[in-house]
Chain A
Amino acid sequence: MTFMCSKAARGGYFWLFFSFISALSVLLPRVAAAAETVPVEAMEWWVWIVLLFVFSFCLGIVAVIAGVGGGVLYVPIVSSLFPFHLDFVRGAGLMVALAGALSAGAPLLNKGLANLRLALSMALIGSVSSIFGALVGLALPAHIVQLALGGTILFISFVMLTAKKSEFPDVKPDKLSQILHIQGIYYEESLKKDIDWQIHRTPVGLVLFILIGFMAGMFGLGAGWANVPVFNLVLGAPLKVSVATSVFVLSINDTAAAWVYLHKGAVLPLIAVPSVIGMMLGTKIGAKLLTRVKTKSVRVIVITLLTLAGLRAILKGFGI
């Protein structure tokens, strides 16, 4: 009976999310077109703000369940659905990713899942490149950024669809990781034992974090989609350590890029704050629902949604 109820509940939640995402996919092009053609005065400003809050809240729920950061969903979808310029959407996207990373960082560090040394080593180089990414992104014409954003989002969809995961990679530590003392032990709940871990291919990881930081700064995306595979598959950190440390790295890299957007006047509180609050509340609800829904199905829907948003960004970039 309990099994049946929980199965029914899972099914209910799944169809709730499926309906939400399907409605979004159908409405996305129409609402976006309306947002571009109807003068903003035709709709009270506070209606947009409330819609943005509700939308960010829903996005927060979906993002946690799909195992992606909020920023990567926020920028392509909000820039398609709302009448805000891409500059402000990217500025708000960075703040969304930053606020989420700040609020999640402390518990992950306390549990020993996120590793300070691993994060600091990679974030130093990533934060410098994220500053340059932000400068380039704000200097380029909007349609070029739209095209590049669309291409990047399609690439992210591909990575999410094809990336493999390795729970406990087999690693022989390299010289640099030994010099930097990047290693650790964390308690694995599922196995009820401590897991010893080390990393390898540290120089390759550093080079990849230059690219990741640049893209995060340029598009205002959180870069969890890229951080996790690099930590896990390239550097060989266990999957849970990779996910947790990725969140922590975001808080440093996004901070660097956020300052550039702040100094360029590309962060409007009217857009950024409702997004930050909505996304953070949604993330908390999503974390509670996480055990009750079929994450694999939601992940497929999110990948589909990202693909649609990526295609739409490319069309917008071509002025279509």
Chain B
Amino acid sequence: MSENHAHPNKAQLVYAAVLHWVSTIGIVFVIAGFAAYVFGLLPATYPIEEIAGSWHLGSAELNHLYPQPTGWSWVPDILRGDVLSFSSIVYLSAATIVCLVAVAGVFISEKNDIYTGIAILQILVLLVAASGLIGSGH
């Protein structure tokens, strides 16, 4: 595991490169999705006025009145404005997982067992959270 620390190592540079592209695409996606939603370029599941009239309610109450996309059930409705905008937020939340998968590959190729293990465990933690196995539903 001897390496020159004076410059960022390969794993760090790979993580940075993937993160740069994933986050840049994410920002474009977030803006485009929101524009499609609020300017009515795509139909919304509920009128914006109705959601705005209930945003003082807690998430459980609002979701009871207007079920919001949760878990992964929203995927078939992605061509609705609100769902597209929601999916852009999901994308941002998945960005770190993509970067970790890339860096785990570098650690494996370097035969760096400790950090391969840490990266894989971290991916598993985030995948469990993303799966909705913990705390999904209202």
C-alpha spacing A99/B29, complex, angstroms: 12
Distance, CA A106 to CA B18, complexed state (A): 8
Contacts of B63 in A (CB 8 A): 265
Cα A178 to Cα B72 in complex, Å, equals: 42
Report the Cα distance A9→B137, complex, angstroms.
53
In the bound complex, do residue A263 and residue B136 qualify as a contact, i.e. CB atoms below 8 Å apart? Answer: yes
A41-B53, A83-B56, A183-B5 known; A259+B126 contact, CB < 8 A: yes
Interface residues of A in 254-278 (CB under 8 A from B): 255-260, 262-274, 276-277
20 contacts between A and B (CB under 8 A): A40-B52, A84-B55, A86-B58, A88-B55, A99-B27, A99-B92, A102-B26, A109-B12, A116-B103, A121-B118, A131-B135, A179-B114, A252-B122, A255-B95, A255-B97, A259-B126, A269-B88, A271-B55, A273-B34, A280-B27
Shortest C-beta distance, A127 to chain B (Å), equals: 5
Contact in complex: A269, B95 (CB < 8 Å): no
Asked whether, in the complex, the Cβ of B23 is within 8 Å of the Cβ of A105, the reply is yes
What residue of chain B has the Cβ atom nearest to residue A123's Cβ? B122
Cα of A185 to Cα of B60 in the assembled complex, Å: 49
- Alpha-carbon distance between A277 and B29 when the two chains are bound, in angstroms: 11
Task: Report Cα–Cα, A9/B92, bound state, in Å.
Answer: 37
Which A residues between 267 and 310 are near B, CB-CB below 8 angstroms? 267-274, 276-277, 280
**Dominant SS among interface residues on chain B:** helix
Would you list the 5 A-B pairs with minimal beta carbon distance, nearest first? Answer: A45-B52, A269-B85, A109-B16, A259-B129, A106-B20
A positions within 8 Å CB-CB of B? 40-41, 45-46, 48-49, 83-88, 91, 95, 98-99, 102-103, 105-107, 109-112, 115-117, 120-121, 123-124, 127-128, 131, 134-135, 138, 142, 179-181, 183-185, 194, 251-252, 255-260, 262-274, 276-277, 280
In the assembled complex, B42 has its CB within 8 A of some CB on chain A:
no
Additional pairs, 12, CB under 8 Å, beyond known A99-B30, A134-B135: A40-B53, A85-B56, A88-B55, A127-B122, A259-B130, A260-B134, A264-B135, A267-B89, A268-B62, A269-B88, A270-B52, A277-B34
A272 & B89 in contact (Cβ 8 Å cutoff):
yes
Q: Which residues from chain B contact A99 at a C-beta distance below 8 Å?
A: 26-27, 30, 92
Q: Smallest distance from the beta carbon of A80 to chain B beta carbons, Å?
A: 14
Residue in B closest to A98 when the chains form the complex, CB atoms: B92
Provided the pairs A102-B95, A183-B5, A262-B70 are in contact, do residues A131 and B129 lie with their beta carbons within 8 angstroms?
yes
How many Å lie between the Cα of A49 and that of B103 in the bound state?
A: 38
Write the residues of chain B forming the contact surface with A, with a CB cutoff of 8 angstroms. 1, 5-9, 11-13, 15-17, 19-20, 22-23, 26-27, 30-31, 33-34, 37-38, 48-49, 51-53, 55-60, 62-63, 67-71, 82, 85-86, 88-90, 92-93, 95-97, 100, 103, 114-115, 118-119, 121-122, 125-126, 129-130, 132, 134-138
For the complex formed, measure the closest distance between the CB of A139 and the CB atoms of chain B, giving whole angstroms. 9
The answer to whether B34 and A262 touch across the interface, beta carbons within 8 angstroms, is: no
Give the CA-CA distance A260 to B135 in the complex, in Å: 6
Asked whether A265 and B62 contact (CB < 8 A) given A102-B19, A102-B95, the answer is: yes
Expressed in whole angstroms, the Cα–Cα distance for A128 and B128 within the complex equals 10
Partner of A110, one of B13, B31, B37, B100: B13
Task: Kindly state the separation between the CA atoms of A253 and B1 in the bound complex, as whole angstroms.
Answer: 27
Measured in the bound complex, the distance between the Cα atoms of B26 and A103 in whole Å is 10
Residues from chain A with a CB closer than 8 A to the CB of B93 are: 95, 98, 255, 258-259, 262
Which residues does chain A contribute within 8 Å of B85, judged by CB atoms? Answer: 269, 273
Nearest-neighbor residue (CB-CB) of B49 within chain A: A45
